[in-house]
Amino acid sequence: MARHFSLSGFPEWLPEQRLVEQHVLTTLQRTFELHGFSGIETRAVEPVSQLLSKGETSKEIYLLSRLQAEAGGDDAELGLHFDLTVPLARYVVENAGRLLFPFKRYQIQKVWRGERPQDGRFREFVQADVDVVGQDTLSQHHDMELPLVMVDALGRLPIPRVVVRASNRKVAQGLYEAVGIADVDGALRAIDKLDKIGEKAVAEMLIAGGATEQQAEQALALARIQGSDGSIADRVLALGARSDLLDEGLHELVALIEGANALMPGAITADLKIARGLDYYTGTVYESTMIGHEDLGSVCSGGRYDSLATDGKKTYPGVGLSIGVSRVLARVLGAPLVEVSRSVPTAVLVAVLDEDHRAQSDRIAMSLRDRGIPTEVSPSAAKFGKQIRYADRRGIPYVWFPGDPDSVKDIRSGDQTDADAGEWMPPADDLHPTVRTVS
């Protein structure tokens, strides 16, 4: 099902592919709601000043202009949002008096990044975010809750298993400061490139940034630590550096890893090389890889941000993760890793005897739909063989023949039985298209 998109970077799916996307989006939505998260949408645009104030993706914004804008008009300069976190921060501050805190929200929307066309990256894609935002304070246990919501959600999708890996900025920052690395942000950015460019190149970056060889080695030693229990703290402390910040970060990270694995064994691993490029994270950070598809990079990422949103008087600390739905979906559809039982929602095609009797078929269809059965009426009153072929090409499992009595044919088995449109029901599995993983 892999395909080329007519406008580079702007994916579009065929109807049967969109069925898979809808299945994914509905599953995510239902899971987020099962965890008590409220759905919101924010407008697609933000003032450019707002977009430019946050993070590194500010270079890849699409600006908007009105074709008929008057010179010197009063339009604020607007751009398309490039993530759903910056809009959330703005929405929370703007509506603080009308929201209840901690505010748990999910948001599934398209975002846009003005990538260079030749880079082959998506320029329009769907993200699915969950965040919880507090007013002034936000308990640490949410740092465990949020990735577990995502593990639950991802586990319900027809995709390979996803493992969430976590680290904590305070650990890296605490250690860097304790060993004397001056440019902490620069060091985090260098470590963030570890999977892409390797240890040697990262060490060179660190040294070019002012670190000594020994400091670079200490940063790399920290980045090598992975594990699923409290022993990671011992290994970090064995590097020999101590600071209050480092201790605080380790305490948070161990509580997260041990708590999460007690509830859902194997769900979350500590991985100290995770840094995350966006500079608004202040504590826990998350990345996730789909097993067997590590080349995709992180499919679900996020972190804790204690000061992203503020109205000057109050601050709104939050923690959340974001699934790159389009990235996952492109792989799932491209391989393909899934198949869908039919290409249309229709369960029953009602045949038409001749155009003078179309209304009879319309009434049968209305009766079936009244009981929740997706039904089409044949668009032509051609020979029955041709009407059956219409159903067959779309994977519609049943064809209904008006008569006295009516009859319904399962065109897969050929079985045909008398039926009453006010009573007949297809088996539950045939009612809607189903999505299955390809084994």
Binding residues among 116-155 for a second copy as defined by CB under 8 A: 116-118, 124, 139, 141-142, 145, 152
Q: What phi, psi does 306 have (nearest 5°)?
A: -85, -10
Among the listed ranges 67-75, 177-185, 302-310, 314-322, the one in contact with a second copy (CB under 8 A) is 67-75
Check binding of 164 to a second copy (CB under 8 A). no
CA distance 145 to 287: 15
Q: Which residues are annotated as a binding site for L-histidine?
A: 83-85, 113, 127, 131, 276, 280-281
Ranges within 352-371 binding a second copy (CB under 8 A): 355, 358-359, 362-363, 366, 369
CB 182 within 8 A of CB 210: yes
Check binding of 303 to a second copy (CB under 8 A). no
Ranges within 178-207 binding a second copy (CB under 8 A): none
Residue 388 identity (one-letter amino acid): I
Of 39 and 180, CB closest to a second copy: 39
Check binding of 96 to a second copy (CB under 8 A). no
Among the listed ranges 91-99, 186-194, 279-287, 301-309, the one in contact with a second copy (CB under 8 A) is 91-99
Of 43 and 242, CB closest to a second copy: 43
Edge to edge, the sheet with strand 315-324 lists: 38-39, 103-112, 124-133, 315-324, 300-310, 284-290, 162-168, 268-271, 226-227
Check binding of 346 to a second copy (CB under 8 A). yes
Q: Running DSSP on this structure, what letter comes out for residue 202?
A: H
Check binding of 261 to a second copy (CB under 8 A). no
Q: For residue 81, give both structure tokens.
A: 């949002």
* DSSP string of 298-342, one letter each residue: -SEEEEEEEEEEE-SS-EEEEEEEEEEHHHHHHHHHHTT-EEES-
Of 76 and 425, CB closest to a second copy: 76
Check binding of 425 to a second copy (CB under 8 A). no
* DSSP string of 276-293, one letter each residue: -S-TT--SEEEEEEETT-
Check binding of 302 to a second copy (CB under 8 A). no
What angle do the packed helices 184-192 and 194-208 form, to 10 degrees? 150
From the CB of residue 143, how many other CB atoms can be counted at a distance below 10 Å? 24
When binding is defined by CB under 8 A, the residue of 20, 24, 28, 37 that contacts a second copy is 37
Check binding of 263 to a second copy (CB under 8 A). yes
Of 235 and 363, CB closest to a second copy: 363
Among the listed ranges 108-116, 181-189, 311-319, 408-416, the one in contact with a second copy (CB under 8 A) is 108-116
Check binding of 318 to a second copy (CB under 8 A). no
